Amino acid sequence: MAKKYWLVKSEPDVFSIDDLAKTKNQTTYWDGVRNYQARNFMRDEMKIGGKVLFYHSNSDPVGVVGICEVVKEGYPDFTAFDPEDKHFDPKSKKNEPTWIMVDIKLVEKLKRTVTLSEIKANPKLQNMKLIQRGSRLSVMPVDKSEFDEIVKMSKK
DNA sequence: GCCAACGTTGGC
DNA sequence: GCCAACGTTGGC
């Protein structure tokens, strides 16, 4: 069954929520994911209309900064075919692409960042993959209750 | 910049 | 198939 709520990580030095806001149609392709688990989520389960928490990693502060929506379902990540691209992967063939991406569109920037430390401190959010030991997934499913809780926290 | 945790690679 | 070495992620 397709899941409806997600969290994606981005390093704001590379691509931030403000960069997304400035992008045409506030829509971007989510390229460069080179992890099979994350790839499988995008390929199999991220459906149009799915809601996505946009998370800033390697930043100050670290945390959830916005809400997006899936507007295009899994298709080949063409950056894997380009030898000049940072995410080039010679193993990925055009007729049999290894890597997949989706398009996401900005819905809203949160009024404030919901920080990682707040998430860790919230008893309702203890099951999030995000805070599980050593979790390095850059695309992960989130429960509706967790999604709603984070949005609620951003309004306080 | 450090380093723990993780995924991938490659020798055997 | 095992596992050491290596590269990457990402919080601090």
Q: With 70 as the cut, is the pLDDT of residue A1 above it?
A: no
User: What b/e string do you get for A37-74 counting C-beta neighbours within 10 Å, with b at 16 or more?
Assistant: ebbebbbebbeeebbbbbbbbeeeebbbbbbbbbbebb
* Average pLDDT of the residues of chain A: 94
A59 token code pair: 């930043």
Q: How far is the CA of A36 from the C1' of C5 (A)?
A: 22
Q: How far is the CA of A85 from the C1' of B5 (A)?
A: 27
Choice among A2-11, A68-77, A107-116 with the minimum mean pLDDT:
A2-11
Is residue A140 a contact partner of residue A109, using CB atoms and an 8 Å limit? no
CATH superfamily of A5-154: ph1033 like domains (3.10.590.10)
C12 closest protein residue (CA to C1'):
A58
Q: Which residues contact A85 (CB under 8 A, 6 or more apart)?
A: A79
Residues above pLDDT 90, as percent of chain A: 85
Task: Considering only residues 61-80 of chain A, list those whose CB is below 7 Å from strand C.
Answer: 62
pTM here? 0.93
What's the pLDDT tens digit per position in A31-51? 999 999 999 999 999 999 999
